[in-house]
Every structure is written in C-alpha cells, then in structure tokens.
Amino acid sequence: MTFAAKYETQPNREWWAQQWIDVLESFGWIRRLERARNYAREGNVLKIEFKGAKVFALVQGTAPEPYKVSLALDPFTEEQWQYVIEGLAERAVFSAKLLAGEMPHNIQEAFTANGLSLFPLTKFDIHSRCSCPDKANPCKHIGAVYYLLGDRFSEDPFVLFQLRGQTKEQIITALRQLRSAKTDVAIDPSPAKPDTPPDAQPDIQLENFWNYEAQLEPSLVVIAPSVTNETVLDVLGFLPLKSDTTGNQSTPAAQVAMEYLKTLYGQVSQQAVLNAMAMGSGE
C-alpha cells in the first residue's frame, strides 16, 4: 500500500487522525514539528509505503537524493489482539462502525481494558529512523511523515490498526465471525434435551408462558439509560436528503431531520425508562 500527497490543515479532520497529531505534538517537539509541517505541506514526502506493521518513506531534503525514513509502533501480540477484538465484538456499536469503516469515539476502552493503548503513550513507543545526517529524532523528515500519516488515518482508520499488527481484513473477518457466533447461539433452534423422562416433565401451558404476576425482586431489577451517548441514529449516520430551497434561504433538510429525530429519540427513550420503572415498582 503506497501513497504520497501534501499535508493539508483540515478543520474537520477525523477525530482519530487529529488525536494522532495531538499525541505527537504533546511530546514537546515544537520546533522540529513546525519545520516538519512545512516539509509535509510543500510535498517533500515523495512516497509512503506500508509493509506489514512498518512504514517506509522517501522524503526530499536539501541533498539531491531523498532521505529514507522508517517508522513503526510496538505491535500487539496475537493473544492481545484476540482479547481486544472480543471486546470490540461485545459492543454492537463498535462492530457496526468498524464494519462501516469508521472509528468509534470510545474505542480506546477496548484496548485499555486489556492494558493496551491504540495511540502512542510516550515518544518511546514510536520507533523511527532517517538516513539524513541530523542526529535529532524526530528530524524534520521523520516529522513530515508523522503528519502525512495523520491524513492517511483519516482516509482509512484501519491503517492505525495495521501499525499495531492487524490488517483490516483480519479485524473485519474476526469481528464477523464473533458476531455471527453470538447470533447463532442466540437463535439456536435445536431443542434442549430433557434431563428427565418425558412423562416426568411438567405440564406447560404455552398460552400462559409470558404471564408473570408475581412481584419482581427489586434488587434484581436495574433500570438505567445507556452508558454511552451513541444512539442508533449515530450508527446509521446522516440522512441522504436533498436541501430544500425556500425563497433566498436554503434549509439543510438532512440536518433538520436528524435534529428532530434525535429530539424524538430522546423523548421516547426517557418515556421508555419511566414506563419500565413504573412496571418494575408494580404500579
């Protein structure tokens, strides 16, 4: 996988790409990264190539021949990735967004739960080299590659996973298999084998199966709204509606519709919780 482009300041950069830049700039390389941004904006990064979990680049400096840059993060082990992917599969919104090519905002939870971090925590988590004579690391050539990687992450968030040792295909396949296995278990049509002879089974009346008139044990009933701010509307994304034009003003129909639906969704969710609490208290 190879690409080359100029770095551009993007006010609406994807959050995970912006966090990559914020993390790098938090390491205190202010002057070096300022020169590196200029290199990236001027197109001095001629080529960036991904080989497995490593990045290789050619950056044009003052010398006639471009300098060779290599960069890598510490990859996670297969066992660590297994735990992370299992955590991702347990959250439907994680799976839905990743399968749609998006990065969930709180995805770090799946990594921190296993003592890991998707983004570098310190400058020592990034391993980089450059063929230039500058002994400082990062030099402006390495720094320019840092910024171009941020743009690449915006285009494809799975590149960030690749630097940690798992390709997009591996993650998608594992997620689908785990989600499919959970679905199969949930809808398993095979009848359970009775532990006692058929003549010893109680007489169950199917028409009364869903009826339960006894008071529920209060300590076993927990009614609360979702622990995340994401709703099904966030998972589905923006509505593909055309803008309406009235007089000299243009109304973004999709935005208006989404705001209305979010308001309605909030009202319905609140009422559902109130109804559930009333039922749980026996009112």
Closest CA to 59 of 123, 137, 155, 132: 132
Compute φ and ψ for 198, nearest 5 degrees.
-55, -35
On whether the pTM is more than 0.75, the answer is no
* pLDDT for the residue numbered 103: 82
Could you check whether the bond before residue 194 is cis, i.e. omega within 30 degrees of 0?
Answer: no
Parallel/antiparallel/unpaired status of strands 244-246 and 126-130 = unpaired
Separation CA 190–CA 198 (nearest Å): 17
Q: What is the mean pLDDT of each run of 10 residues along the chain (283 residues)?
A: 58 79 85 88 92 93 94 94 90 81 83 91 91 91 92 85 91 84 55 53 60 56 50 64 52 71 72 59 50
Closest CA to 148 of 281, 283, 20, 276: 20
Q: Convert the pLDDT of each residue in 5-34 to its tens digit.
A: 565 555 567 888 888 888 888 888 888 888
Residues 6+ apart with CB under 8 A from 1: 49, 50, 159
Residue ranges per structural domain of the chain: 2-176, 213-280
* pLDDT for the residue numbered 186: 47
* pLDDT for the residue numbered 92: 80
Compute φ and ψ for 242, nearest 5 degrees.
-80, 150
Residues 6+ apart with CB under 8 A from 83: 114
Structure tokens of 185? 């278990």
* pLDDT for the residue numbered 97: 83
* pLDDT for the residue numbered 55: 94
